[in-house]
């Protein structure tokens, strides 16, 4: 009987030691807290959107990281690692840039409507407290950013205010 109790005790100690082993942290898009949405796909497997294609005008600005990645998440396309976009965003939002990037945790995919593109991100575990919407008008090569801090919205415009439809706002 004592051997049985000692064996059970030893087994439980071994199990506890193994389960308490230090875990190594790995970062992946699956480990991030993201807003998952399923978008319908066309026959080629590309997500469908209500967007209207904007013909290329031969400039790099109309075919950028935002317009090329409709349906993809900002984290997956490394949005804030794109030098040309980050330079523009820094100019538009100024001192708010670092905080905006820091709290762009819970994301929704890039969506578009009539040549206007939208990206959303908010603070993990506090989306109503801090959220950011980035709008890009491909036709006019214009960026707008709206940062909502506890209901107080600050709007930033690069070349003037982009008119955004209610349906795009809701996406």
CATH code (residue 106): 3.40.1420
- Residue 17 counted as domain residue: no
pLDDT for position 11: 53
- As a whole number, the mean pLDDT across the chain is 76
The token pair that represents 12 in the structure block: 């439980």
Closest CA to 75 of 106, 40, 47, 118: 106
Per the domain annotation, does 3 fall within a domain?
Answer: no
In a domain, 6, yes or no: no
Give the pLDDT band of residue 80 (cuts 50, 70, 90): very high
In the predicted model, what is the mean pLDDT of residues 67-93? 94
> How many folded domains does the chain comprise?
1
Tell me if 10 is assigned to some domain: no
Q: Is residue 30 part of a domain?
A: yes
- Give the neighbor-by-neighbor strand order of the sheet with 116-122: 106-113, 116-122, 130-137, 142-149, 152-157
Residue range of the domain that includes 120: 25-170
- Per-residue pLDDT tens for 122-159? 999 999 899 999 999 999 999 999 999 999 999 999 99
Q: How far is CA 95 from CA 92, 132, 151, in A?
A: 9, 15, 20
Residue 103 lies in a domain: yes
């Amino acid at each position: 009987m004592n051997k049985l109790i000692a064996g059970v005790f030893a087994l439980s100690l071994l199990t506890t030691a193994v389960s308490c082993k230090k875990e190594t942290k790995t970062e992946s898009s699956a480990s991030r807290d993201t807003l998952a949405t399923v978008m319908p796909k066309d026959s080629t497997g590309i997500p469908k959107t209500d967007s209207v294609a904007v013909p290329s005008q031969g400039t790099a600005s109309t075919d950028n990281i935002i317009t090329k990645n409709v349906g993809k998440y900002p984290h997956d396309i490394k949005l804030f690692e794109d030098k040309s976009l980050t330079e523009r965003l820094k100019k538009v939002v100024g001192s708010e840039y670092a905080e905006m990037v820091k709290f762009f945790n819970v994301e929704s995919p890039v969506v578009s409507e009539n040549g206007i593109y939208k990206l959303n991100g908010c603070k993990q575990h506090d989306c109503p407290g801090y959220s950011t919407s980035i709008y890009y008008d491909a036709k006019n090569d214009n960026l707008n950013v709206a940062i909502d801090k506890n209901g107080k919205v600050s709007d930033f415009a690069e070349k003037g205010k982009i008119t955004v439809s209610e349906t795009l706002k809701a996406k």
